[in-house]
Chains A and B, each alone.
Chain A
Amino acid sequence: MTEQEDAMPQQGSSTPPEHIRVVVADDHPMWRDAVARDLADAGFEVLATADDGRSAVARTRATVPDVLVLDLNLPGLSGAQVCAALTAAQVPTRILILSASGDHQDVLDAVKAGALGYLVKSAGREEFLAAVRATAAGEPVFTAGLAGLVLGEFRRVKAAGGGTPERPIPELTDRETEILKYVATGMGYKEIASTLFLSHRTVQNHVQNIFGKLQMHNRVELVRFAMERGLDLADPT
């Protein structure tokens, strides 16, 4: 998946950046510093940085930022495990995945475990800052690439008979499928809204519903998910 040129479908945020508090987790010092500097320059408050999965969980739990900017491939815990640990601990921090990798399954796992968006590292600076703002506002950062993955995941689950008995994944409505396909072909919310004669807000609600259907909400699920992937949530740090 390459969405380096991907325009953010939505730029929406009313929260002033100076009130957005961020933790940056990346094992590459170069990247971590650059991202932190960009954020600070743009008026965000960088509370802490982390260079592996366990410290990402620990520092996020300790500081409870608005947004955790999380590298997908951290040593110690994977991005999905960090998401699962934080969601299971009911940390209200919203998570934006930033990754150099195009590993599809890892991205999907992270989204299921609670990440609100995904951006490749080759995304531009402005695109990145807009994504952090959107994440802070609780809006999914839904690039075309991620929409394609999410659509594929719903197709797969449906073909497999609707998820597992413990965790039935609801099917998408026709309207949601339609919107997902539009997002996956690079259309912004405004374009989608005008195409479907819907309000911008309605499109956003549909997108949030799509995310909600995919994500795991209860702790039991998350614990099972994390344990299947080798993480004991009893000792997340």
Chain B
Amino acid sequence: MARTRHGAGPEHDGVPDGEPGDVPGGPDTELIPAPAPLSDDELPAAVSAPTVAVLDDEHAIVRGLWRGIDVFRCLALAYAVWSVWERHEQIAHLVGAVAILGVLAGWTLAVTLRPVRTVRAYTIELAIGCSAILATRLVDDPDVITAGAKTIPSIWPTAAVIGFAVLRGWRGGLAAASLVAACSFVEVVEPTPNTISNSIFGLLLGGCIGYCVDLARSSHAALAEAMRLDAARAERDRLARTVHDGVLQTLAFINRRASEIGGEAARLGAMAGEQERILRTLVSQTDLAEVGRAVSGDADLRGLLRHVEGDGVQLVSPADAVLLPRRVADEVVAAVEAALDNVRKHAGDDARAWVLLDDDGDEIAVTIRDSGRGLPEGRLEEAVGQGRLGVSASILGRLADLGGTATITSGPAGGTTVELRIPNRRTTRLTNRHHGRRTPATTERGPQVGTQGRGAP
């Protein structure tokens, strides 16, 4: 150990890629593996925080692995030194071997004192390890190598393999292990049983640790997402409480008082009332369950129809979600919008409308009733005959496509009722329950148009 080494300094980038004088075997540019993941997108982090460049998103498991690698590297160095010491009589150029160990020791010391968890640092370490394996050929007799002697660095390069597994997952681990294995094969020329088993061991280690790190990262990401959603919901609940307790009450109060004062104030009050309605709808939105349903592909009709409220239209719904597959729900919403358009066009200016959602387990019924003028007897048939029936295409057609029915009736008290019935796909699960309540209209297949003038004149 008479020579001065460099590489023991704190500047990790100052460690040379090889030791041209002592270790002449290192055409590093060819040895550095070139798998795609080895981009240098993490370099800025290393430059800006050279002391402990641990990525921000790393969690406990990954941090633990990094510390494990640091310890492993030191132990591996000790093992390599002991191996050389044990067989120093076999080694042809002991000075060369010591020089190689010196380089390994220098790097080990440097990264133990100032850990750098970047692709660049581990590329350098891998290059040093591979060079050291190849350099064994220069310090040992070929006979000794063929007889199965250990390489000078022994298991030291494995630290770089694990490092790549942690940095780049199973792909990184396998790529680094393959490179180390390739160097071992080049070094021995004729593979010994040790070479083969060590290489397989290295590949398994790199692949398995990389896979575990991948799993840890993805579960960490899922956990972080869940926590984010939870925090978002808590924040919304907090806002909703504040809005309920203060803003809604105040707006409703302004509306109430202003409408009593009348005149200009009444108009202002109406604006306050409108804002109250919008705000109440916003803060009463359902919570994470909605996110879950969005994932499962089901949509809650209550949420999808919220926008139809206002302008004299009231949405009447149960406390529980009214679930339909997203595609079906969109069609139903379109049909409801068409029916309400019809109300606006034909029912008169002061007509009001109600949209009732009713899920009886077998079918989901959406009833749109207005308080308007109603349909004159026979007008619907007349319109169909003339081929100009807006509701025909947009309501009946849509419902037929969904396997449901649409009924249009006119009540004795004026007003028109459109009833949409959509088969509930949960029906198959609930066949044991029977409804004696079915009316002939609901059991018929396909859309139907009827103007049943029901009730007393």
Contact = CB atoms under 8 A, between A and B. Distances in A.
Given A103-B284, A184-B354, A31 B318 contact: no
A152 B273 contact: no
Contacts of B309: 2
Interface in A1-55: 1-6, 28, 30-31, 34
B277 interface: yes
Contact of B367 (A104, A120, A181): A181
Interface stretch (A77-85, A140-148, A210-218): A140-148
B101 to A, nearest CB: 71
A74 B107 CA distance: 69
A87 interface: no
Interface string B17-49: 000000000000000000000000000000000
Interface string B428-440: 0010010011000
Interface in B240-269: 244-245, 248-250, 252-253, 255-257, 259-260
Given A152-B358, A174-B436, A185 B316 contact: yes
A169 to B, nearest CB: 15
Interface stretch (A59-67, A129-137, A191-199, A227-235): A191-199
A170 interface: no
Interface string B356-372: 11111100000101010
B318 A30 contact: no
A177 interface: yes
Interface in B343-364: 352-354, 356-361
B362 to A, nearest CB: 10
A200 interface: no
A108 interface: yes
A1 B305 CA distance: 12
Given A145-B314, A152-B319, A197 B249 contact: no
* B interface residue count range (under 10 / 10 to 19 / 20 to 34 / 35 or more): 35 or more
A139 B281 CA distance: 29
A195 B411 contact: yes
Given A100-B280, A149-B319, A158-B361, A4 B273 contact: yes
Given A30-B250, A186-B369, A194-B412, A1 B358 contact: no
Contacts of A185: 316, 354, 356, 367, 369, 417
Contacts of A219: none
Contacts of A159: 361, 430, 433
A32 to B, nearest CB: 11
B256 A191 contact: no
A108 to B, nearest CB: 6
A116 interface: no
A100 B248 contact: yes
B444 interface: no
Given A103-B284, A174-B436, A185-B354, A2 B360 contact: no
B259 to A, nearest CB: 7
Interface string A92-111: 00000000111111011000
B303 interface: no
Given A4-B273, A28-B249, A158-B361, A102 B280 contact: yes
A1 B316 contact: yes
B51 to A, nearest CB: 53
B244 A186 contact: no
Given A124-B259, A152-B319, A187-B369, A181 B437 contact: no
Contact of A122 (B276, B316, B319, B320): B276
10 contacts: A2-B314, A6-B314, A28-B249, A101-B244, A122-B256, A148-B358, A156-B320, A159-B430, A186-B354, A195-B454
Given A34-B256, A100-B244, A195-B455, 5 more contacts: A104-B317, A125-B256, A148-B318, A186-B352, A195-B454
Interface of A: 1-6, 28, 30-31, 34, 73, 100-105, 107-108, 120-122, 124-125, 144-145, 147-149, 151-153, 155-156, 158-159, 174, 177, 181, 184-187, 191, 194-197
